[in-house]
């Protein structure tokens, strides 16, 4: 009984750890995507002002 409870607790903590890691990666991906959009907009603006 105690071993099963211990297994459940360790699995839960492991799931929480992986979940936080995925959340961090999602935030990083969103930030990188927004930076990419800003760069793309600046690039198109530079092209439009050049011609």
Distance CA(26)–CA(5), nearest Å, equals 31
Residue 51 is given by DSSP the state: -
Q: CA-to-CA distance for 3 and 1, rounded, in angstroms?
A: 5
| DSSP letter assigned to residue 1 | -
Per-residue pLDDT of the chain (51 residues; tens, 9 = 90+): 678 888 888 888 888 788 888 999 999 999 999 999 999 999 999 999 876
Instruction: Give this prediction's pTM.
Output: 0.56
Q: What end-to-end distance do the CA atoms of the chain give, in Å?
A: 75
């Amino acid at each position: 009984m105690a071993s099963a409870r211990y297994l459940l607790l360790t699995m839960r903590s492991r799931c929480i750890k992986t979940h936080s890691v995925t959340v961090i990666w999602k935030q990083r991906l969103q930030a990188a995507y927004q930076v990419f959009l800003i760069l793309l907009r600046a690039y198109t603006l530079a092209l439009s002002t050049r011609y």
